[in-house]
Amino acid sequence: MEVTIPELLELVRPGETVVVEYETSYVPEFALKLLADYTRENNVPFVIDDNFDSLYTVLVHCDMLGLKVDIGHSHVFKTGGRKDVGGTIRRVEFHPDPRVLLRNYDVAFADTVGTPENPAINLTLGIENLLYFVRDVRDFYRFLLGIQRYVGDKRRKAFYLVHTGLIRSLPPYVHPELRRIATSVWVFHSYPTGVKLSILRSPDLDLVGREFTIDVGGVFLGGS
């Protein structure tokens, strides 16, 4: 079944945390382009968690693909890195101790955008980069609890883009635990003119096991 981005986002409830898994492809680039267009055109707050210049890298790829991406309306929470891109940028000081890092993030996120009536679309890029700094199991679960605190926050609909190849190179408990705390798990596979989405987990049990396709061919033609 083919769906549009607005239809897809309607499947996600305010407060949800969606883990979006993909293999080597341009899923992050198309996700950024389509979500940026959707939020700008529908006056929806757009929050991007940018870890270690992941956003800059995705934008460079978009430029090489010929994708015009306007994120001037976005609010970027930037952890690490040096490339400042996006709209309003709020820096989160990186610290290898997850407890300190999460406190720094909480301070930046306290005065965030989004309301239960008009929740922000919150796209997280480069979470794998943060996880590489986790030193042991205890630190990982501290990090995980920090993410889990925001599950149910109805000011946002959160999407964590996760490269399955990279995440599987981490300790074996990382991938299943990320899935466990998510309210939804989506797996994307690309094909020449779009992507196929398989829903592995959702609070709407009718969606579990369903597959959807998203045509991105129009993006190359300048469509939204």
**Which amino acid belongs to residue 87?**
G
Q: Is residue 207 one of the residues assigned to a domain?
A: no
Strand-pair partners of 75: 47, 88
For residue 108, what pLDDT is reported? Answer: 80
DSSP SS3 for 152? coil
> Which strand ranges, in their side-by-side order, compose the sheet holding 211-215?
88-92, 75-79, 46-51, 120-125, 156-163, 17-22, 184-191, 194-201, 211-215
**d(Cα 33, Cα 224) in Å, to the nearest integer?**
8
Q: Is residue 9 one of the residues assigned to a domain?
A: no
The whole-number mean pLDDT for each consecutive block of 10 residues of the chain, a chain of 224 residues, reads: 92 98 90 96 97 98 95 96 95 92 84 88 96 91 92 96 94 96 95 88 97 76 41
State which H helix or E strand residue 166 sits in.
helix 164-167
**Which amino acid belongs to residue 130?**
L
**Which amino acid belongs to residue 110?**
A
Count of structural domains, the chain: 1
Q: Is residue 5 one of the residues assigned to a domain?
A: no
Residue range of the domain that includes 53:
14-188
CATH number, residue 136: 3.40.50.11570
Q: Is residue 116 one of the residues assigned to a domain?
A: yes
For residue 155, what pLDDT is reported? Answer: 94
Model confidence pTM above 0.85: yes
Q: Decide: 162 and 127 in contact? Cβ < 8 Å.
A: yes
Q: Is residue 221 one of the residues assigned to a domain?
A: no
